[in-house]
Amino acid sequence: MRCLFLAAGLASGLLACRATGAHEPAPEREFFERGVLILDSADAAETFESMLDRLAAADVVFLGETHQDETTHRFERDVYAGLIERTGGRVVLALEMFSRDAQPVLDRYLAGEIDEQAFLAQSNPWGNYRTGYRPLIELAREHGLPVVASNVPAGLRRRVAAGEAEAFAALTEEERGWIAPELLTNSEAYWARFERVVRGHVDVSQGPESLLYSGQSQWDNTMGYSCAEALAAYPGFVVLHVNGGFHSAYHDGTVAQLEARHPGADVVTVAIDPVNDINAEGPEPDLALADFLVFADARARGSDGSFHAVRSQRELRYALSVPDTATDSAPVPLLIFLGDDGLRAEDSLAYWELALGDEAAVAVIEPPYPAVGEDLTPGGRWFWNETYHEDLATLGAGLAEVQNYVSRNYPVGDGVVLAGDGTGATVVARAVFHGAPVQALANRPAGYRKLREWPLPDSLGSAGASERKGPGLTVITDADDAAWWEQELAAYAEIGLESELETSGTTLRDLEHRVRVALGLPVPAAEAVAPAGAGSARERLWREIAARAQERGDLVPEVAELPALLASGEASGEALPPAPGLFGGTTILVVPADTPDAERTLWLALEDADVMAVHGRFFRLRVAFADATPGVADVLADLQAAGRSTALIVPAVFCEDAEGMRALAAEAADFAGSMQIDYLPGLGGRYARPPR
């Protein structure tokens, strides 16, 4: 097999272009300017100028945005400036970001009667006003054009939502000017989409009438009413309304409220979606979303109340193994696998190579956040609570890129399975909504409950269930978590993602069986396999790998047998891990207490046998003892005196626990500041390194 460590650009957000089949390049869009890609509802690429021609002929234009993205705000300013030029200044700007009670202050600022400091102090602007909406206001001020504050004040909105009809009827005369005089219902389809966004925080089961006085309904009604008012007040002008994308998606919400109050208005909607790579492959765009789809190059965002951010390209590393027997005329299926937190990609790759042999290609993803585990061994994390949703969305897009790259460049066929275990399974459960249709297996998901805070998409695009060979997502979990997942998968079913829940067979061998079925590979007769037993996730995986290697006929000696086998040449120095220094280093094997004298002698003899030469000319082996001299500190002192600064400390056991590893670290503490010291919890991982 060819084993490679590769990296894909770690993207985020929804991707703009459609996924392609194996070995097909991504389609290049014709126009890419101002940091945006523009498609119309017929999936045709538009120039900025041709889009402006259509907008300038409309009565009302809705720009649906995400609120912090810098490229989006630059694009909006360009649209406003372009409409001013095309219409000779006959444009009314309307903004969700100001409530109607701020209109007098806004008018005074536009007229030059107050300065900006007074305007901001009295108008309650959004927190990202300077980076998001100030350029629009200043352009209106420069050209002497009207701006409409279209939203309902927050305090009034909360009061009406709490008191409903009674509170609405009790509004003062002044307050009635700050909200639509009549509230009209939104459609059932609108509320169904809204429920997918808020995920259970609002009860929509009683129908649209029950939500008439909700904050969301007040928003849409008041903004739609404000746009209708502006049309009447400024005949012959284009009303340009900037709002959150949900309010104008599918010509519903605020758009429908405007059209109910001004029938026959020529309305054009624009949906702006920030993406990491405009020309990347990804899900088909939802052409029903708006009249124009604009994919904005996500470069930076203003504060959302916590942090500002710029986007920088990161790598999503993965270990790839492709059978040497695979050819373009005889491609193999592909498994993309994500292990649990704390594990290394090479460990999981070793297992799946042994399990699948030459029958499939395997790409094992490395967690993007490097971390040192309790056993002091480098591993990784998939996500953090603070950035949970961004991390999972980013990983979903990155996994689609991995699939696309491998399919373009290696003899991989259409059969693709995405599988994960533990926290990796949670990433899989989210990633199934990205990219080309694949079958996804999520085994024992961990850290999954925040998934319900993530809005569900309105449609699956090219990831629809009809293009899969089986269920889009299979979740395998225990009975304690089954009820939560039953409810979650029912929500997925409502948007067309076929899924199933299984509550038995959560071992790695069980997952292997399911992977084979999903890949269309032969499934061997059931084997009587002893469970991996207790221990850390790393130890259990190492034991599974050793068992798999034994089944294949490989030499898998006990750790105590290794020194004799190495001395006799029956085992190679590959069985001992090299220090991770760029120019070599010293592996310090720590022989445990109570080891027989004969075995101690054999370990010591290996120091002079140059068994590490197989890794390179600068790799060395030293032996320390847990209960005798030389100890770990003695060996490190010798190395430091000899001018050597890189060491890997490994207990000569199959897998040491975290407490034992911390004890070794305590012995080495005096050298931690002056030497590069790494740790590996044992020799059980000697089968886990892929072939070089």
pLDDT (tens digit, 9 = 90+) per residue, 404-454? 899 999 999 889 999 999 999 999 999 988 766 789 999 999 999 999 888
More confident residue, 413 or 33: 413
Which SS3 state, helix, strand or coil, does residue 19 take?
coil
More confident residue, 197 or 153: 153
Q: How many Cβ atoms sit within 10 Å of the Cβ of residue 295?
A: 29
Residues 638-652 have a mean pLDDT of 95
Q: Which domains does the chain have, with CATH numbers?
A: 310-523 (3.40.50.1820), 559-687 (3.40.50.1400)
How far apart are the C-alpha atoms of 207 and 185, rounded to whole Å? Answer: 10
pLDDT for position 302 = 81
Which SS3 state, helix, strand or coil, does residue 584 take?
coil
Q: Answer yes or no: is pLDDT of 374 > 90.
A: no
Q: Answer yes or no: is pLDDT of 339 > 90.
A: yes
Residues 358-362 have a mean pLDDT of 96
Q: Answer yes or no: is pLDDT of 474 > 90.
A: yes
How far apart are the C-alpha atoms of 87 and 387, rounded to whole Å? Answer: 44
- Categorize the per-residue pLDDT at 177 as very low, low, confident or very high, splitting at 50, 70 and 90: very high
Q: Answer yes or no: is pLDDT of 206 > 60.
A: yes
The phi and psi torsions of 129 (rounded to 5 degrees) equal -55, -45
Beta strands in 323-368 (DSSP E): 332-338, 361-365
User: pLDDT of 300-322, one tens digit each?
Assistant: 888 766 678 887 777 899 999 99
Do 239 and 92 meet the contact criterion of CB atoms below 8 Å apart?
Answer: yes
Q: Answer yes or no: is pLDDT of 115 > 60.
A: yes
Q: Answer yes or no: is pLDDT of 4 > 80.
A: no
User: pLDDT of 483-492, one tens digit each?
Assistant: 999 999 998 9
- How many percent of the chain have pLDDT more than 90? 65
pLDDT for position 670 = 96
Looking only at the bridges linking them, the beta strands covering 309-310 and 300-301 are antiparallel
pLDDT for position 358 = 93
Q: How many Cβ atoms sit within 10 Å of the Cβ of residue 575?
A: 18
| Cα-only R_g, the chain | 31
Worst-scoring range by mean pLDDT, 26-35, 237-246, 546-555? 26-35
List, as one string, the DSSP characters of 606-655. GGGTTGGGGG-TT-EEEEEESSSSS-HHHHHHHHHHTT--EEEEEESSS-
Residues 591-603 have a mean pLDDT of 94
Residues 660-681 have a mean pLDDT of 95
Residues 180-197 have a mean pLDDT of 92
* 580 class by beta-carbon count within 10 Å (0-12 exposed, 13-18 middle, 19+ buried): middle
Q: Answer yes or no: is pLDDT of 42 > 80.
A: yes
* 25 class by beta-carbon count within 10 Å (0-12 exposed, 13-18 middle, 19+ buried): exposed
Number of H helices, E strands in the chain: 22, 24
How far apart are the C-alpha atoms of 254 and 52, rounded to whole Å? Answer: 22
pLDDT for position 5 = 52
pLDDT for position 30 = 43
Worst-scoring range by mean pLDDT, 78-82, 348-352, 524-528? 524-528
User: pLDDT of 510-544, one tens digit each?
Assistant: 999 999 999 999 998 766 555 556 678 889 899 99
Angle at 687 between CA 666 and CA 585, to 5 degrees: 45
pLDDT for position 26 = 37
pLDDT for position 585 = 93
List, as one string, the DSSP characters of 287-309. TTS-SEEEEEE--EE--SSS--E
Q: Tell me which residue of 416, 463, 471, 423 sits closest to 443, measured CA to CA.
A: 423
Do 180 and 258 meet the contact criterion of CB atoms below 8 Å apart?
Answer: no
Worst-scoring range by mean pLDDT, 17-31, 368-382, 547-561? 17-31
pLDDT for position 162 = 95
More confident residue, 519 or 569: 519
- Categorize the per-residue pLDDT at 554 as very low, low, confident or very high, splitting at 50, 70 and 90: confident
pLDDT for position 397 = 83
